[in-house]
Each structure stands twice: as structure tokens, then as C-alpha cells.
Structure 1
Amino acid sequence: MRAREIPSLALDSYQRAARVALANHLVTATYPDRIALPLLRRWATELREDLLDLFGYRLEVTETTARLFPVLDALDSTQPARTASDRVFDRRRYAYLALSLAALGRAGNQITLSELADHVAAEAGQVDGVELATDRAADRDAFVDAVGWLAARGAISLADGDAGGWANNPASGEALYDIERSVVMAMFRPPRAVQHLRSVTGLLVGSEVPTEDSEEDGESQPPIDPKETLKKVRRALVEHPVVYFDDFDQDGRTALAAVRTVADVELLTGLIAERRAEGVTLIDTSGRMSDLRFPSTGTIAQVALLLAGEISDRVIDPDALELPRHPIPDDGDLIDLVDSAIPGGGVFDDLAEFGGRGRTVENSATELYPFVENSWVNGAVSDLVERYGRTFAAQWQADPIGLGERAVGMLHRLRLVHIMSGGILVHPVIARYRDVVISVRDRVPQDSLFESMDLNGTEVNGTEPSDPDSHSHTTETEAH
């Protein structure tokens, strides 16, 4: 491992480079910032070896881009593409993003937004269920979101005009973009040609091309290399907020329990491992690798923290009815949902490799988790709004149901709970946030820099009112 050869004075720089590569699979001259690419270029040789040896990830570094090619062990619905306003991409935005990327690959050095929209609209018309009508505001907004996602990562850069003006009125607004071809080419590099796949599982590391002989004879699959098991465990450590022993079979659990497995990841990333009976989490004190900080500021994050404490208390409440327990469902439904959206006309049948899901490693765990119904969660959120609502953002004070959904969604992304039909399954690590201490601080605004003046410009004596209730207060909630 090359990280062991890095001088101690330079190790922090190397670990920062590793965190940047793992957190941003595509790094350009401007994304995620202007210092990221020079940092990766400095440590490119060492990073290539360590990322390949520890995770099986391939790193390509050029003068204009750094591209990390991860290995997918399973589908993950907790890391969707998001708009600049943190809105999750829907199917329409994903379709526009893919079609825009294809159009940019065939374009010249520049392209206007309307020209790009025409190309996408023409391609979208050939796919059932996809359409881009520029006379519909909803379609224009979704298209601009996809273009903005590309612009944020440096695939295109605004040369003139305004995309917002085109979205508001395409007849009078326009935008001109420079195309960064190296970024466009680096952005989409699937491990297999998507036209050869009938199932999304063909993109997963556990998938293999099924053969007629093996299907008829019922031959068992060859044993998994122990080195690959170690890589799978390490991949989980850097891709998920929490890694549970229950996520793996017996070999994987043994690998996760080994001190060396986690220590290698700690050395590469500079993160600190926290071990518990249920699994392992890596604590990112730098804040440079995590895409979701928790605990954090903001109404949703604070309500999520408060709700985590409420859920923990409910699970261990000796006076309440015992909660039912269920296993975590597999990702079969998600696979079926994605596969149902694959355009059948786009698959080359003669070259198609996968007729079904291929081979996946089955999880032999049978752990059961407490199930909390949505009605209880909604009641808990309503109670939190009643107690602390005056400190929340105004939009959430009037929408406790929406606030609860966003808070539960955050807990799901953190793998503290698992959302399922009718409620949530509670992971034991949520007990880490029991006994949350709440402090509400009332801040009296400072006196004005100017003396109060009457309407005629005459100075008014600035005595404080005798009624304390006449003071205006700004209230803050701190959850620890």
C-alpha cells in the first residue's frame, strides 16, 4: 500500500486527495473546486495503485479531468442526482441528462441551449414515455436542471446569455455554451455497453453472463476470491454512512471484523473508524468526503436528529407495546422498477448478454428490526413541531407531514432507518443519538446604530419599554 510510504508531513495532503477522488468520481478544472484537480494530479501515481488494490477502483487522470471508475456491488437509491436547489432528479430529468450528454458528444465546440433542446427533443421522440416539448414550462425547467447539472461539473460552460431566461420564455431568451469535450467523454463510461443489457444488474460486479450449460446442469458458481471479499467490504465502508455486519455473508462479516481491513481505509482516507456491535462507521471530521453532514444545521437536519431520539426512546420503551420485527427487504423491487424502464427497442438482441438479473450474491442474514408505523412517526413530528415549531423555518411550520417525510428521508440516507411500505425499520445504530439535549436560546436584537427619530426629525429619547413582552426575539434551537 503506497500510503504507508508517504512521509508523515505529506500524508495529510495525500489523504485529502483520496477523499476528493472517492467523494467526486469526476473532478474537473472547476469541479468540485479549483484546487481539487491539481491535488489529484500531484498524487495520481500513488492513488491509482491504492484505489485499485483496496477497492478495485480504476483512476484515470489527464490534464483536464480525473475520473474514478467505481465498482458497483448493489443498487443504491440514496445517492440520486440533484439539482442546484437540492431537488432529486426524476425520470424525466435523468432522461434529458442522458440525451443531452449524447447530443454534446456529437456537437462542435459550442452550442446554444435551444439547439441542444432541439437535439434532445428529436431523440426523446424515439423513446416511448419520453418527450421534450419546449412549449411546456415543466419540460423546459426539467431540461434546464439537466443542463445545469452538466454545467456544474464543467462539461459545458456558459459563454453568453442566461438559461433561466430561455426557461421563462424560449422565444426571447437564449444561452450559448462552450463544450469541454474531454469532460463530456469522461463523464459516461459504463463497464458494459448498455445496449447489450436487458437488466441493470449487468452493471453490477456480481453479475456474470449466464450460459446454457450452467443453467441446464445446475452448476454452482465458483467460490469468491477472499481478496474480492475484502475489496467489497472496503467499498461499503467508503460508500455508505454505516456498514452493518448483517450486510454480508459470513466471509464478509469476518473481513469487516478484522482490524486490518478498516485500518487500511483509515490510513488512505484519514477518517476515524467507530466500531459497534452492529457494524462500523467512518467518521469524517474534515467534512470533505461526506455528501450529507449529520448532525447539522437547518430545520430538516435538526428535526431528523430530534426524531432519531424519539424513535430510539420508542424502541426501548418498556411501557409501550412491543414493536413487530421484520427483515430488511432485498433490492428486487428496485431492480424490477429500473428494468421496467429500459427501452426494449434500444437493446441489441443478438448481442444482449443478460436476459434476467444475472448472478447476485445473496445475503444470508436474517436479522429482524423493529417496525415503526408511519402514523406514529407523523405523531412524533407533530409533537416536535408543537414544542419547537417557533424555531423552525416558516414553510415547515405549516407542513409537518412534509417535514416528517424529509426528516425520515435523511435518516434513511444515513442508514439509521429503512423506509418501507407503511413505516420504517429501525437500525440499532440510531441509539447513538439517544438523549438529545435541546437548548432554545432567545436572542434580543442589538440596539439600532441610529437614535430613534420622530417624524419631524426630532430625536426621541431611547428608553427601553417597561413591558418585557414588547421586545422582539429571535429564537434558535440547538440539538446536541
Structure 2
Amino acid sequence: MRARSIAPLEAESYQRAARLILSRHLVTASYPDRSALPLLRRWATELREDLLELFGFRLEVTETTARLFTVVDRLDPDSGTRTATDRPFDRRRYAYLALVLAALGRAGAQISLSELAEYVVAESSRVEGVEFAPSRGTDRDAFVDVVGWLTMRGAITVADGDAGGWARDPAIGEALYDIDRAVVTALFRPPQALQHIDSVRALLAPVSAGGTQEVARRMRRALVQRPVVYAEELDDEEAVQLALPRTAADVALLTGLVVERRAEGVALVGPSGRLSDVRFPGTGTVAQVALLLAGEICDRVLDADAPEPVRVPLPMDTRADLVAAVDAALPRSSMFTGLRSSDDTAGEPVAEVPSEREPRPVPEHPLVEDAWLAETVSGLVDTYGRTFASQWQADPGALTQAAIGVLAGQRLVARVPGGVLALPALARFRGVTVSVRRRDPHLELFPRDREATATAGTATVASSQTDSSETEKC
């Protein structure tokens, strides 16, 4: 491992480069900033060897791009592409993204937004289930989100005009873009021709390949791709590899993160938050309510005076349902049936070999009912509602679901019928405290009255267990 030979004074720079490429996967001359690519080019040789050895990832670095080709072991419903306003891409946006990349790959040095839209209109009509009508505002918004995502990464650069004007009125607005073909090429490099596969499982790493070394790589990939790796979700061989101190220590040495190991599993924690795709604890109403709700759930589970909560095991892995849903959306009409390939073993559990060892006990987790969650969030709205965004004040039900979504995405709770299960990592966020910053009435230009002004403010939520650290996932 090359990280062990890095001089101590340069270790932080190397670890910063590792965190950068693990979190971004694509780095260009302008994305995420102009200092990123020179940093990666400096450590390209060392990173290339370490990323391949530890994770099986392949790093390609050129003069204008750095691209990390990762290995996916399972589908994750909480990962994916997001818009500039942090909204997840839906099926329409992903379809437009694929069509826009195809258009950019065939275009010259420049292309106008209207020409790009015309291409997507023509090509979408040939794909089953995809449609693009510039006359519809929702379609235009989705198309502009895709163009903005590509602009942010440097695949295209605005030479003239404004995409916002076109989104408001295509008959009046227009924009001209310069195309960076190297970035376009780096963005879309699937491991195999997508027209030749009939299931998304073919894009997942085979579970049964590689022996002990590949199991260790799979566990290291899990450490940087999941917020928490719980031992109960692993088979015996994976659990043994995760328990070995070196498995997590090698990842910590590469990234500079802190290993937090418990009997229930392992997490990598980074106070800087430079590897997280979701900051938690974070700012904003939903993140703050999620942290408050985490503290309330901990208090409910630990309350000796309250009835003992029902304890149930984690439900069986439902990712087979996710695979089936993705496969159901594949455009069969564009598939080359003569060259079709299907990997039925990729990403699927292999048949268990009878073992003489005692089966591991199945942990059970406290169940927190939906009614209690709704009542608790309503109480938080009553107490701190003045500091919440207006849209959430008016809809506590939606706020409850959004806060639970944040906790579930960080693997602090698990959704089950009737409520959520409190998972072990949730205990990191017990002891939540709240402080409300008061506005100084003398700083307001038109104070209404002193009492009303004094009660307005912004809630700041903190946990005595977190110290602003974050569970890492890229």
C-alpha cells in the first residue's frame, strides 16, 4: 500500500486527494474547483495503486480529467444524482441525461440549447416510455436541470445566452455552449454495452468471485459507500473480514478518517465532512428536526418508566424488489437480443454452504410506532415551529416523513411497516440540546414590538455525542 510510504508532512495532502476522488468520482479543470485536478495529478500514481488494491477501483487521470471507475456491490436507493437544488434525479432526468450525453458526443465544438433540445425530442420518441415536449414546463425544467448538472462538471460551458430564459420561454430564450469532449467521454463509460444486458444485476459485482481478497475489498467498499456497516447484515465470511482491524485501518490510512468500531458494526467518521454526500447533523429545518427526532427516539428507547418497546429483527434485504423495479423500467425495444447477456449471480446472495459453526444470533431492535413519531414531531413543531421554514410548519406529516428519510438514509433507523427500528448507530446522537438565537430588536429597521421580536429566532440543534462529526458515505 503506497499510503504507508508517504512522508508524514505530505500525508494530509494525499488523504485529501483520496477523499476528493472517492466522493466526486469525476474531477475536471473546473469541478469541484480549480485546485482539485492539480492535487489529483500530483498523487495520481500512488492513488491509482492504492484504490485498485483496497477497493478494486480503477483511476484514470489525464491532463483535463480524473475519473474513478467504481465497483457496485448492491443497489442503494439513497444514492444517485442530484440537481443543483439538491433534488434527486427522477427517471425523466436520467433519461434526458443519457440522451444529452449522446447528442454532445456527436456534436462539434459548440451547440445551442435549442439544437440540443431538438435532438432530445427526436431521440426520446424512439425510446419506449420516454417523451420530451418543450411546450411542457415540467419537461423543460427537467431538461434544464440536466444541462445545469453537465455545466457544473465542465462538460459544457456557457459561451453566450442563458438557459433560464429558454426554460421560461423557448421561443425567446437561447444559450450557446462550448463542449469539452474529454469530460463528456469521461462521464459515460459503462463497463459493458447497456443494450446487451437484460437486468441491472449484470452491472453489479459478482458475490462469489475472488475469494478472501475480494471479500476484504467488498468490506472496504462498504465502509466508504455506506454510512454504517452493520455486522448483522453480512454473511459469516464478510463479518470476519470486517472484524479484522486491518480492514478498516487501511481505509482510515488512505482517507484520514476515524474508525468507530462497536460490537454491532463499523463506521468511518470524519469531522471535516469532506467525504460525505449528506451532512448530518446539518442545517435546514429537515436536518434539524431529524436530529431532534433522533434524540427523542433515544430517550423513548432508554426511558425506564415507559413501556418496553417491542423488539424485532431487521427485515430481510428488500433490494431484490429494487432490482425488479429497475429491470421493469428497462426499454426492451432497444435491446440487442442477439447479444443479450445476463449475470444471474451478480449482486445476488450465493447458496449457503452447510457449516459446523453455531449460527449467529439475530439481533432485535426497538420498534418506534408511526403514531408516536407523528405526535413527537407535532410537539417539536409546537415548540420550535417559529424557527422552521413555513412549508414545514404547515405540514407536520410531510416533515415527519422527510426527517425519517434523513435518519434512514444515514442508517440510524430502518423503515418497517408500522414505524421504524432504532438501529445501534442512533445512540451517537442522544443527549440533543437546543438553543434559540434571539434577534436583537435594536438591529431591526422596523421592529413590530419587543416581545414578538424577542421570541423570533433560529433554532440551533447540537448533540453532545457528535461534536459536529459525520458518518461518511460517498
TM-score normalised over the length of structure 2: 0.90
State the partner residue of 1:49: 49
Q: Counterpart amino acid of 1:77? A: P
Give how far 1:225 is off.
Answer: 1.0
Equivalent residue for 2:349, pick from 361, 378, 384? 361
Give a deviation string over 1:414-468, Cα, whole Å, max 9, x none. Answer: 111123444323212111111212223323244579xx9xxxxxxxxxxx99x96
Q: Provide the rounded CA distance (Å) in 1 between the counterparts of 2:149 and 2:351.
A: 35
Shift of 1:384: 0.8
Moved more, 468-477 or 1-10: 468-477
- Aligned equivalent of 1:437: 433
Whole-Å Cα distance in 2 between the matches of residues 417 and 363 of structure 1?
Answer: 29
What's 2:103 paired with?
A: 103
Aligned counterpart, 2:162: 162
Contact 1:256 1:262 in 2 (8 A): yes
Corresponding residue number in structure 1 for 2:315: 328
- In structure 2, how many angstroms separate the alpha carbons of the residues matched to 1:447 and 1:413? 40
Which letter maps to 2:248? V
5 Å-filtered alignment, 1:242-321, equals 242-318=228-304, 319-320=306-307
2:408 to 409, 412, 416: 412
Distance 1:370 1:411 in 2: 15
Matched, 1:238 2:238: no
**Matched residues in 2 for 1:74 and 1:471: separation?**
51
Q: Per the alignment, in what secondary structure is the counterpart of residue 128 of structure 1?
A: coil
- In structure 2, what is the Cα distance between the partners aligned to 1:448 and 1:392? 20
Contact 2:201 2:346 in 1 (8 A): yes
2:458 maps to which residue?
A: 476
In structure 2, distance between residues paired with 1:274 and 1:341: 39
Assess, with a 3 A threshold, how the Cα gap between structure 1 residues 401 and 42 changes in structure 2: closer, same or farther.
same
Give SS of 1:282's match.
Answer: strand
User: 2:40 & 2:459 partners in 1: Cα distance?
Assistant: 40
Structure 1 375/187 Cα, relative in aligned 2: closer, same or farther at 3 Å?
same
Which residue identity is paired with 2:250?
Answer: D
Unaligned runs of 5+ in 2: 353-359, 463-474
Is contact 1:301-1:410 (8 Å) kept?
yes
Q: CA deviation at 1:363?
A: 10
Code of the residue aligned with 1:182 in structure 2: it is A
Aligned partner of 1:17 in structure 2 is: 17
| Native 8 Å contact 1:27 1:66 kept in 2 | yes
Change (3 A) 1:168 1:411: same
1:366-396 per-position Cα deviation (integer Å, ceiling 9, x unaligned): 4443333333322211111011111212222
Contact kept, 8 Å, 1:29 with 1:64, in 2: the verdict is: yes
Q: Which amino acid aligns with 2:256?
A: G
Larger radius of gyration: 1
Residues 328, 369 of structure 1: 8 Å contact kept: no
Name the residue aligned to 1:350: 338
Letter in 2 for 1:333: D
Note the aligned Cα RMSD (angstroms): 2.2
SS in 2 for 1:407: helix
- Whole-Å Cα distance in 1 between the matches of residues 452 and 39 of structure 2? 55
Match of 1:350, SS state, is: helix
**TM-score (ref. length: structure 1):** 0.89
TM-superposed CA distance for 1:297, in Å, is 2.2
Q: Which residue of 1 aligns with 2:124?
A: 124
Contact 1:241–1:281 (Cα < 8 Å) also in 2 = yes
Supply the AA of the counterpart residue of 2:314.
Answer: P
Distance in 2 between the 1:471 and 1:348 partners?
67
Contact 1:64 1:182 in 2 (8 A): yes
Residues 303/314 of structure 1: CA separation in 2 closer, same or farther (3 Å cut): same
What's 1:4 paired with?
A: 4
- SS in structure 1 of the partner of residue 432 of structure 2: coil
Note the C-alpha offset of 1:356.
5.1
Which whole-Å CA distance do the structure 2 matches of 1:174 and 1:348 have between them? 37
Worse overlay, 48-57 or 414-423: 414-423
Which structure has more relative contact order (CA 8 Å, sep 6+)? It is: 2
Shift of 1:255: 1.2
User: Alpha carbons of 1:311 and 1:345: their partners in 2 closer, same or farther (altered >3 Å)?
Assistant: same
Which amino acid is the alignment partner of residue 157 of structure 1?
A: T
Q: Any unmatched runs of 5+ in structure 1? A: 208-220, 453-463
36-45 or 382-391, which deviates more: 382-391
**d(CA) in 1 for partners of 2:308, 2:272:** 42
The code of the aligned residue for 1:361 comes to P
The question of whether the paired residues in 2 share the 8 Å contact of 1:444 and 1:474 is answered with: no
- Aligned residue pairs total 452
Quote the Cα distance in structure 2 between the aligned partners of 1:359 and 1:237: 17
Letter in 2 for 1:258: L
Amino acid at match of 1:346: S
**Percent identity between the two aligned chains:** 56
Shift of 1:35: 0.7
Change (3 A) 1:422 1:119: farther
- Tell me the residue number matched to 1:394: 390
Letter in 2 for 1:406: A
Report matched runs for 1:68-87 at 5 Å. Answer: 68-87=68-87
- 2:465 alignment partner in structure 1: none
CA 377–46 in structure 1, closer or farther in 2 if over 3 Å, else same: same
Cα distance in 2, alignment partners of residues 440 and 358 from structure 1: 51
Q: Alpha-carbon deviations, 1:40-83, whole Å to 9, x = none?
A: 00000000000000110000000010000010000011112111
Residues 199, 357 of structure 1: 8 Å contact kept: no
Structure 1 residue corresponding to 2:367, chosen from 368, 371, 394? 371
> Retained in 2: the 8 A contact 1:371–1:426?
yes
**Local SS of the residue matching 1:437:** strand
The answer to whether the Cα contact below 8 Å between 1:249 and 1:363 also exists between their aligned partners in 2 is no
Distance 1:363 1:324 in 2: 29
